Structure 1
Amino acid sequence: MANPRKILLAEDEPALGQIIKESLETRNFKVLLCENGDIALKTYQTEMPELLVLDVMMPKKDGFTLAKEIREIDDTIPIIFLTAKSQTQDVVEGFTIGGNDYLKKPFSMEELIVRINNLLSRTKEQKHSETIEIGHYTFNFPKQTLQFKIEEKTQLTHREAHLLFHLIKNKNKVLDRSLILNKLWGSDDFFNARSMDVFITKLRKRLKQDSNIEIINVRGFGYKLIC
Structure 2
Amino acid sequence: MIIWLNQLIWVTALLRRAHVANDRKLTIGNTVLDADSVSIMVDSQEISVTVREFNILFKLLSYPNKTFSRSQLLDEFWGVDTTTGLRAVDVYITKLRDKFSGSDVFEITTVHGLGYKAVLK
TM-score of the alignment, normalized to the shorter chain, above 0.5: yes
Q: What residue identity is the alignment partner of 1:216?
A: T
**2:72 pairs with 1:173:** no
Matched positions, count: 115
Computing the radius of gyration from Cα coordinates, the structure with the larger value is 1
Match of 1:23 in 2: none
Contact 2:28 2:105 in 1 (8 A): no
Out of 159, 177, 186, the residue aligned to residue 79 of structure 2 is 186
The separation in 2 between residues aligned to 1:157 and 1:167, in whole angstroms, is 15
Q: What residue identity is the alignment partner of 1:71?
A: T
C-alpha distance after superposition, 1:9-36 (max 9, x if no partner): xxxxxxxxxxxxxxxxxxxxxxxxxxxx
Q: What residue identity is the alignment partner of 1:167?
A: L
Q: What residue identity is the alignment partner of 2:88?
A: S
**2:8 pairs with 1:67:** yes
Out of 198, 206, 210, the residue aligned to residue 91 of structure 2 is 198
**2:114 pairs with 1:221:** yes
User: What TM-score results when the alignment is normalised by the length of structure 2?
Assistant: 0.76
User: What TM-score results when the alignment is normalised by the length of structure 1?
Assistant: 0.44
Task: Measure how far apart 1:163 and its partner are.
Answer: 0.5
1:188–1:67 CA distance, 2 compared to 1 (3 A): closer
C-alpha distance after superposition, 1:27-68 (max 9, x if no partner): xxxxxxxxxx3xxxxxxxxxxxxxxxxxxxx4xx163x1322
Match of 2:19 in 1: none
Contact 2:108 2:116 in 1 (8 A): yes
Match of 2:52 in 1: 159
Ranges of 4+ aligned residues in structure 1 off by more than 3 Å: 72-75, 187-191
**2:80 pairs with 1:139:** no
Task: Measure how far apart 1:162 and its partner are.
Answer: 1.1
Structure 1 residue ranges without an equivalent (≥5): 1-36, 38-57, 76-125
The CA RMSD over aligned residues, in Å, is: 2.9
Identity %: 27
Query: Relative contact order: is structure 1 or structure 2 higher (C-alpha 8 Å, sep ≥ 6)?
Result: 2
1:216–1:189 CA distance, 2 compared to 1 (3 A): farther
Contact 1:69 1:183 in 2 (8 A): no
Contact 2:109 2:118 in 1 (8 A): yes
Task: Measure how far apart 1:149 and its partner are.
Answer: 0.7
Task: Measure how far apart 1:131 and its partner are.
Answer: 2.2
Structure 2 residue ranges without an equivalent (≥5): 17-21
